[in-house]
Structure 1
Amino acid sequence: MDDLTHLQPTVRNWLELTDEERIFEMKRDLWIGYPQAIKILGQMEDLLKHPRISRMPNLLIVGKTNSGKSQILERFKSLHPASDNLGGEAISVPVLYVEAPTMPDEKRFYIEILDELFAKYSFSDSAAKLFVNVREKFERVGVRMLLIDELNNLVTGSMAKQRHFLTVLKYLSNQLQIPLVCAGTEEAVRALQTDPQLSNRFVPVTLPRWSMDADYRRFLASWEKILPLRLPSGLSEKALAHEILSKSGGTTGEVVTLLKKAASYAIASKRERIDMHAIEHCDYIGPGGSKPRLIEV
């Protein structure tokens, strides 16, 4: 029998699948915790337990594109799922996730929220009426935290629209008295800083690029345990870890994409391990659609 100690016990069962099925399973959203993500999730747990006050504290997760911001929001949502709440009048939705509209538009934002709650409304409703609808639905289903992804979308509008949307966030926080956890790029930080009253309510926490440190190599070692390959790859070994870091540019999302592409290649080519050859010959295209820059380590 093959030595499969490099894999988690549950992943070993995947080796009984066909090559196509193994590749399919790897395309699912798989979660590996790492120190900064675990720290942020802990901060979000603290906010969820925070008593209602007139000036609720909020959180802004900041990072470059594909740095893992959305995955953290989705992870937290999965840890606090909606339930049928059979003993109550309505379902329970402790944590609600929405994406900021592609333009900073108040009505579209409320509609995004109502759509997530499968609530009825009319497109002709005024923003004020839509907000009343949002507030009533939040109270009915018990929303205790609102997650807003892609907050940097607000910079696609004029300065006047940006300021109005920031006012909407402030009003939402004041009226609902629940914490807002937003995610966005540095553009979102700069936009928030134009409103001092709002910016000092949002604690920024960053998701930096990986570097060749122990945390990064542990992250790779954890991923090796859930990639269904028959042979160990030694992802955390210095040379291979450095190559993955350089080729991906160092953001969490790009590292994971490269690992999945290389693992798929390893399965399809019958090599069954990720090595330099797999990294070089898989169909991974780095950030920007060109060869990624080398980064200092």
Structure 2
Amino acid sequence: MRWKSSRRSTNIEDRRSESADSGGSGRGFRIGSGGKKGGIGIILVAVVVLLMGGDPSTLINMLLGGGSVPVQTQTMSRIAPSQAPTDEMAEFVSVVLADTEDTWTPLFQQMGKTYQKPRLVLFRGAVKSACGTAQSAMGPFYCPGDQKVYIDLSFYEELKHAFKAPGDFAQAYVIAHEVGHHVQQQFGILQKIHQMQRDMPKSEANVLSVKLELQADCLAGIWAFHANRVRNIVEPGDIDEAMNAASKIGDDAIQKRAQGYAVRDSFTHGTSAQRVKWFNQGFTRGDVQSCNTFSS
């Protein structure tokens, strides 16, 4: 990916020197007696858990009753990075964020809308967000409550070694996918889908969660299409890196690697084939209308 001479975003919060109270143990949020239990707080946290594969009905019950809320995620066990994240990695992320800004701002203008740029938070270990306290093991995530993307850069070591998805464009795809969720938030899609999911059985809610994630993959492909058309950022092999990453983090691939088999009703992000298909759809079409995964 051609990036070193590109613009850096100023919408970066570097919290890597801070520490956050994990509020519990393992991979979950802990909502105690002093936690936010109002309807808005529940909705904001539930949306994020949906995006990361959690069960909203279980979450809401746990929030109302207090205690530790386990969060199902798509990441494998953490591995020790070969080296600490470098300043160059943080610089790379700021370039990718800037490029998504330079892509979505004019696209929103063409639709008669104003793109509200998200902020990206760099952290280590754990971080506090408007959606609760999250740990690195949860992987990168988008919080609609504060409209920020969160990432521990050591995730890229996991992407490379545990998921066998190396390459700078694979790393860029991760950011573009999370920004895709921000685009969904700007369009009002996240809010509408979550409202629909609240009264659904888990299996039906999971189907909508898959469609949300596949649409974010397609929106990441749209970013790649326009960024390359306007700024010529794509080098040979880059798109293969992104599609390889999409393939390696499909629900079926992760479940088979973890337990030897896949359970389709539990899918929340889509199969490897679906994730590759929708990223490629966005990249080859470059049209937001082509990302209507909900009609598929």
TM-score of the aligned structures, taking structure 1 as reference length: 0.24
Higher RCO, Cα 8 Å, sep 6+: 1
TM-score of the aligned structures, taking structure 2 as reference length: 0.24
